[in-house]
Amino acid sequence: MAVDKGLLSGGTTLMILKLLEERDMYGYQMIEELARKSEEVFNLKAGTLYPILHGLENEGMVSSYDDHADSLRVRKYYHLTDKGRAQLKDRQTEWTRFSGAINRVLGGGVSYAGN
């Protein structure tokens, strides 16, 4: 199933931050993990991911380091900083409010029936 791009763009950064909340990852891992978690709904292009990651690093939301934990090749791992963690919390709240509002509109105001 393909998802409308406009809807996705705001959420991409949020999802990247969320993935890194669990553990440090390199780019390829993030794309795989995102596809797996979203049951293949989100097939994020690597070309979209890296500019976002580098931008987040510039803003101090994530930091990076080189490691070769499970391979001979050196990989660039990304780590969520405290600033990034705070940003994730804010964005998550914002997203919940936004998606909740959409759901209520789509649901035809059923939840307000009793008010």
Partner 1 sequence: MQATERIQAYSKTVCDQVRWKKAHGMIAEEIENHLVDQRDAYIAAGAPEDEATGRALAQMGDPVDIGARLDRTHRPKPQWSMLFLTAALLLAGLVIRLVIVRSGWDRELPVQLLAMAAGLGLMAAAYFADFTLIGRHPKTFFVLLMAAALTAALLSPLLNGRRYYAEFMTLLFPLGFSAVIYALRNKGYRGLIACCLAFLLPCLMALQVPTVAGLLLFAFCGFALLLLAIVKNWFGVSKLFGGLIAAVPFAAALLLVSRMFGMRLTAVLDPFADPNGYGYFAIAIREMLASARLLGPGAPLPADTAQLLRSPMTDTTQLLANLIHSAGWLAFIAVMAVLLLFAVRGFMLCARQKSVIGRLIAMSVMLTFSAQVFGYVLYNLGYPLMDPISLPLISYGNAAMMINLFLIGLMLSVFRTGDVARDKSGGVLKRQSPIAWADGKLIISFSRK
Site residues for partner 1 per CB under 8 A: 26-28, 45-48, 50-51, 54-55, 58, 63-68, 70-76
CB nearer to partner 1: give 4 or 70. 70
The least CB distance from residue 9 to partner 1, in Å, is 13
Contacts 24+ apart (CB under 8 A), 100-106: none
Sheet holding 75-80, edge to edge: 25-26, 75-80, 62-67
Work out the number of other CB atoms within 10 angstroms of the CB of residue 75: 16
CB of 70 to partner 1, least distance (A): 6
Least distance between partner 1 and beta carbon 7 (Å): 19
